[in-house]
Amino acid sequence: MILDSLLPSASTYAADINQLFDVITLLVGIPFLVASFLFFSFIFRFKAKGGQKAMYITGTEHQYMKWIHRAHVPILVFDVIIVVMAVNVWYRVKQDLPEASSTVRVIAQQWAWSFVHPGPDNVLDTADDITTVNELHVAANTLYHYKLESLDVLHNFSVPVFRLKQDAIPGRIITGWFEPTMTGTFDIQCAEICGIGHGLMPAKIVIESSEQHAAWVEQNSPFAVAALAAN
Amino acid sequence: MSRPIATTRSAAGMPTPRLAVWWLIASEIVIFGGVLGSYIMHRLAHGIWADYAANTNPWIGAFNTFVLLSSSLSAVLAHQAAERGDGKRAANLLYLTTLGGAVFLCVKAFEWTTEISHGMTITANTFWSFYYTAAGIHAAHVIAGMIIMVIVAQTAKKNLELHRVEIIGIYWHFVDLVWIFLFPLLYIAK
Amino acid sequence: MAESIRVEHAAHHDDHHGHHEMSFLEKYVFPLDHKMIAMQYMFTGMFMALIGGFFAYAFRWQIAFPGTEAPFWGQVSPADYNSLVTNHGSIMIFWVAMPVLIAAFGNYLIPLMIGADDMVFPKLNRLSYQIFLLSALIILASFFVEGGAFGGAWTAYPPLSTKAEYSLTPLGSTMWITAVALEFVAFLLGGINFITTAMNSRAPGMKMWDIPMVVWMIVIASILFMLSVGPLLAGGIMMLFDQNLGTAFFDPDRGGDPILWQHLFWFFGHPEVYVVLLPAVGIVAEIITVFARKKLFGYKTVLYTAIGTGVLSFTVWAHHQFIAGIDPRMANVFTVTTLLISVPIAEMMFVYIATLYGGSITLSTPMLWALSFIFEFLIGGITGIFLGASGNDIYMHDTYFVLAHFHYTFYPIAIIGTYAGFTFWFPKMFGRMMNDKLGKLHFWLTIIPFNTIFLPLFVLGAAGHHRRIFDYRNFPELSYPWMWDLQALATYSLIVMLLAQVIFFYNVITSWISGPVAPKNPWNSNTLEWTATSPPPHGNWPEGLPTVYRGPYEYSHPDRKSSDYWPQNEPA
Ligand code: HEA
Ligand code: HEA
Ligand code: CUA
Ligand SMILES: [Cu+2]
């Protein structure tokens, strides 16, 4: 509700995170509002009046202390709800790795992104791979694995409309997944400071319908490009 | 400069300097804990480090352990002498302890020069980086302890500030204890 | 009693001292008196706060109006931007919050509140300040060396921070880590002093539960600091070696591990936020009890929740690293521990609110600051829950939401808490009363802009704005007009807030020179510092140190008919 009013939700799990955000807002909002209400009402109610002494309460009396103890119950319950939901979403996005129908390689370096698409044969690391700079092409409604690596320092592959973020670490290849649900062109940002050009590492993700995407792959495969050049 | 009255109180039931040295040691434990914890994590993740560690000389390490332990003994004796009010003897025993530290450092210097001349420098690989860093931080503590010990001995000789003998002793035992951890981790585990 | 004999002796001694006038150098430059050292920390921290605030102004100008020249700074280049942000964060935490809340208030208050004439190790105290000053000079000097100041964020993640070819600040990086390490050493020395003083040098009669809350909090914070900073100090040495000797602790190409640094950093970094939180919470406890004329609601409750928070704080560090490449299963553990921390902190906040119940509340300037601390910190606290929920942090990590979260915690602590304490103890420190009207004007002109700076940043964060980006025009999704409006609102508010500080400085200077002379105990407060003259002389109570008969918060006690307070040192 809140997040999708601010930006589009373009992956299968974006809605889960939107929902989680709303639930947390509600569950911390209620205690916050109650606490603030009491806070302000006490300030107004107990303003100093001439000649009136304050009460003497030590905070060990059962009649007062029970209110503080009772407040723990909802907080613990809310905490448990938040943990359960958060862990669920986390499991789905980061721990679980569903079967993919295609895989892309994402390579970060100071200060650009290279994307390796599998090409017409849909297999990575073959001669027909398509490498692009700062532009990732994917098809909607297709489950992708990404293989994320970095050539120098830490970067972070962040696609806000997917609600996806993952650090890229030199010397490691990190695998994750996403499944776009709508078409369009969106931002990819780098979300880990990586030096002077950190603010200059924008890339685009272009989500196309499967036909459009197939056409793009066809046109840009190294063979097609070579043939074009030969003409 | 007169001492504040605050110094003479002991609401916690322990003389202030002794209390302070325990807190100092607490903060040092976490420093060494950080180095050693990082080392152990790496070590477990890299089986090959055992091969590098094979190049260390456990006999030299054992000898140094012996030297440090003996110096701890003389520190204990110095404390006993100070308790009896025998500042002279305490001072002499502290000098002896310092000597132990000096022997330890000489042996280390010898050991390190041989290792470095065989190409096992601090940049050779991460095992050696840890080796020199951990032992280096420890050696810095040995040097600091020796300097303070000489200062304490100077005043103790005149039968002044004898309570300091105990304090530096506690510190010195701690420095020993760190070595007791370093020795098996760097030299023996192979 | 042995104590009283010694007291007489000391009084005599002080007399004797009076004949030998201390030179200017002895008194102001190399003092041993805890109050003077506190002032050195206070004014150094104040100076650094102005620098940190000015940096915020320079980079916030660039965020809101990219490509235009910031008045008094000029064009902010990408390299400038990173150095400004990095050093803004580092300075505000290590050279403002720490020195002011722990070192300045700790030094000033601990001996006075426990009825001692000084710290137990005055020379160590002086050394601690000198090391601290050196570290401050190094961090400032780093702006003038070749390559400029370090720009790899205050978290200094390697390999960016360890390899000059990546950071392009060969000297700046080394100076940054050196300065931070020296600052840690300074606070370790200071901490030992605080802890031993509070443990050992209490006035006769002062039992554990008679210690004022702020003293407890500074001591607990010092212990927390001591037990968490070690690994990072070790890490700092490793980083220095990586930078300058060519070791490879954090270099993945040569067998090192960059994530190791993150663990060392956050194992310290998370407890550190409570290290600064606790002293502020202690200051607030002193102020709300005085101005509500109430006993603290549950003295031991506050103490136990503080200790509980401290213990738990060692178990949550990886919530900063959820998506940094740690084992994803670990995230679940850290989500649970992180959310658990809300329980003791919530209890602590509720206790403070409950303290107001049934009070007789006067809204003086210090009270306004203290109350606003509670409210603003609640916002900061609950937004931490959004981030602690691992699934949500996938999206929120490193956005402006995080930024707004921690400014809503740090700002109440470092700025609001400081102003609360400063205005409350000003009469004691300088012997004059501050102007309350100007104080309130300053309060409102600071607190309103504070909210209008950071509330918009929550919205921007939720909309996907990432941190440490010097020019959002590169990102079409982040360049809608309403977003620019919010960024501009934040920057304008900051300018208003910075200008409002002029009122504060004017108030301090004029009150110091010509304010009404402060009595010993202007707020009718119970704690011992108010029984010394304002300002207290060297030795604090030349007439003899006080003895304690009761706890610090006996306000409006029914057995006490003559007045609504009952000083700790007054015999029954
Ligand atoms: C003093 C400063 C301070 C304080 C007190 C806190 C307090 C908390 N912080 Fe914060 N935090 C920072 C300073 C601070 N933080 C900083 C500087 C960063 C960023 C560092 C960087 O990357 O540069 C950060 C980042 C940060 C992150 C990482 C975000 C990311 O980078 O992705 C997380 C995640 O868990 C987090 C969580 C919390 C939590 C759960 C608390 C809790 O302690 C809050 C507990 C308080 C409450 C919950 C409020 C009171 C309770 C109630 C009103 C009851 C209702 C509550 C419930 C029903 C749960 N913080
Ligand atoms: C204590 C901590 C603290 C404080 C107080 C502040 C204060 C402010 N911060 Fe800070 N900030 C950080 C800690 C803090 N910050 C950290 C850790 C980072 C992350 C750095 C990183 O990413 O590496 C950060 C980053 C950060 C950014 C993110 C930049 C980016 O990621 O691109 C922004 C952007 O708006 C910002 C803004 C501000 C503003 C407008 C203030 C204003 O509130 C400042 C106003 C200042 C004053 C009004 C000073 C007046 C005070 C006095 C004169 C003191 C008086 C003293 C005594 C009485 C003793 N900060
Ligand atoms: Cu790449 Cu930031
Ligand atoms: Cu944290």
Answer whether A35 sits within 8 Å of C168, measured CB to CB: no
- What are the residue ranges spanned by the domains of chain B? 15-188
* A85 contacts: CB under 8 Å, gap ≥ 6: A19, A20, A23, C389, C391
Q: Is ligand 2 within 6 A of the CB of residue C56? A: yes
Q: Note the pLDDT of residue C14.
A: 42
For chains A and B, tell me whether 3 or more CB atom pairs sit within 8 A of each other: no
pLDDT, residue C21, reads 65
Which residues of chain B are within 8 Å of residue C230 when distances are taken between CB atoms?
Answer: 27-34
Q: Separation of C386 CA from ligand 1 center, angstroms? A: 8
**Is C58 within a domain?**
yes
For chain A, domain boundaries: 2-95, 102-230
Assess C326–A contact: CB distance below 8 Å, yes or no.
Answer: no
Angle, in degrees to the nearest 10, between helices C170-200 and C213-244: 150
A167 contacts in chain C (CB < 8 Å): 323-325
Banded pLDDT at A223 (limits 50, 70, 90): confident
Which pLDDT does position C13 carry in this prediction?
A: 42
Task: Using alpha carbons, select from A42, A39, A72, A57 the residue that is nearest to residue C347.
Answer: A72
Task: Let me know the angle formed at the C-alpha of A63 by A60 and A66, rounded to the nearest 5 degrees.
Answer: 80
> What pLDDT, on the 0 to 100 scale, is given for residue C16?
40
Torsion over CA: C525, C526, C532, C536 (sign): negative
Assess if residue C89 is contained within a domain: no
Residue C155, in any domain of the structure: yes
- Pick the ligand that lies closest to the CA of residue C398: 1
Q: Do C192 and B35 touch (CB under 8 A)?
A: no
For ligand 2, is residue C92 a contact (CB within 6 Å)? yes
Of C237, C249, C545, the CB nearest to B126: C249
Flag whether residue C255 sits within 8 Å of chain A, measured between CB atoms.
no
Q: What is the CATH code for A102-230?
A: 2.60.40.420
pTM: 0.94
Residue of C17, C199, C227 lying closest to B11 (CB–CB): C199
Cβ-in-10-Å burial (0-12, 13-18, 19+) of C257 comes to buried
User: Searching chain B, which residue's CA lies closest to the CA of residue C22?
Assistant: B1
Query: How high is the mean pLDDT of chain C?
Result: 92
What residue's CA is closest to ligand 1, atom 8?
Answer: C384
CB C195 within 8 A of CB B27: no
Q: How many angstroms separate the CA atoms of C403 and C492, rounded?
A: 18
Report the neighbours of A using a cutoff of 3 or more CB pairs below 8 angstroms.
Answer: C
| Structural domain for C256, as ranges | 24-68+97-110+132-531
Residues C39, C44: Cα–Cα separation, whole Å: 8
Beta-ladder partners of A104: A146
| C159-C162-C164-C165 Cα dihedral, nearest 10 degrees | -20
Q: Does A95 sit within 8 Å of C78, measured CB to CB? A: no
Please name the member of C188, C201, C241 whose beta carbon is closest to the beta carbon of B129: C241
Question: Mean pLDDT of successive 10-residue segments in chain C (572 residues)?
Answer: 39 43 77 93 97 96 93 92 96 96 96 94 94 97 93 94 92 96 96 95 92 97 95 95 92 89 95 96 96 92 95 95 92 95 94 93 96 97 96 95 97 97 96 95 97 96 93 90 96 96 97 94 94 92 92 90 88 82
Cβ neighbour number for residue A125 with a 10 Å cutoff: 10
Q: Is C72 on the interface with A (CB under 8 A)?
A: no
Whether the CB of C410 sits within 6 Å of ligand 1: yes
Q: Does A3 touch chain C (CB under 8 A)?
A: yes
pLDDT > 90? residue A48: no
Q: Pairing state of beta strands A144-150 and A174-178?
A: antiparallel
- Contacts of residue B136, defined as CB under 8 A and 6 or more positions apart, other chains included, come to none
The answer regarding whether domain B15-188 maps to CATH 1.20.120.80 reads yes
What is the distance of C-alpha A148 from the center of its chain? 15
- Tell me if B27 and C248 make a contact (CB, 8 A cut-off): no
Which pLDDT belongs to residue C3? 40
Contact C253 A36 (CB under 8 A): no
Ligand 3 atom closest to the Cα of residue A201 is 1
Distances (CA, A) of A121 to A102, A218, A221, A229, B67: 10, 10, 10, 21, 70
Q: Using CB atoms, which chains have 3+ pairs under 8 A with B?
A: C
* Contact state of A6 with C293 under an 8 Å Cβ cutoff: no
With cut-offs at 50, 70 and 90, classify the pLDDT of residue B49: confident
pLDDT in tens, A178-190: 999 999 999 999 9
The CATH number covering residue C137 comes to 1.20.210.10
Per-residue confidence (pLDDT) for residue C564, from 0 to 100: 87
Torsion (CA) A35, A41, A43, A44 in degrees, nearest 10? 170
Opening angle at CA A209, ends A206 and A215, nearest 5: 85
Report the distance separating Cα C489 and Cα C468, nearest Å: 18
> CA-nearest residue of chain C to B7?
C120
pLDDT at A159: 95
Closest to C274 in 3D by CA, of C311, C320, C245, C242: C311
| Rounded CA separation C332/C325 (Å) | 14
Q: Please give the pLDDT value at position C24.
A: 78
DSSP track, chain A: --GGGTS---BTTHHHHHHHHHHHHHHHHHHHHHHHHHHHHHHHHTB--TTPPPP---S--HHHHHHHHHHHHHHHHHHHHHHHHHHHHHIIIII-----SEEEEEEEETTEEEEEE-TTTT-TTSTT-EEEESEEEEETT--EEEEEEESSS-EEEEEGGGTEEEEE-BT--EEEEE-B-S-EEEEEEE-S--SGGGGG--EEEEEE-HHHHHHHHHHHSHHHHHHHHH-
Question: Mind giving me the DSSP string for A63-101?
Answer: HHHHHHHHHHHHHHHHHHHHHHHHHHHHIIIII-----S
Q: Are C528 and C568 in contact (CB under 8 A)?
A: yes
Specify the pLDDT at position C561. Answer: 82
Pairs of residues, one from chain A and one from chain C, whose beta carbons lie less than 8 Å apart: 286
Per-residue pLDDT, C39: 96
CA of residue A78 relative to chain centroid, distance: 23
Q: Would you state the pLDDT for residue C551? A: 92
| Chain-chain contact of C391 with A158 (C-beta, under 8 angstroms) | no
Distance from chain centroid for Cα C181? 18
Out of C415, C425, C487, C495, give the residue to mutate to test ligand 2, the one with the largest number of ligand atoms within 8 Å of its CB: C415
Q: How many CA atoms lie within 13 A of C5 on its CB side?
A: 3
pLDDT at B190: 67
Instruction: Check C253 against A170: CB less than 8 A apart.
Output: yes
pLDDT at A148 over 70: yes
Chain B positions touching chain C (beta carbons under 8 Å):
1-2, 4-12, 14, 16, 19-20, 23-24, 26-35, 37-38, 41-42, 46, 122-123, 125-126, 129-130, 133, 137
Residue B9 has what DSSP assignment?
Answer: -
Looking at the CA of C402, name the nearest ligand.
Answer: 1
**What pLDDT does residue C5 have?**
36
Burial of C362 (0-12, 13-18, 19+ CB in 10 A): middle
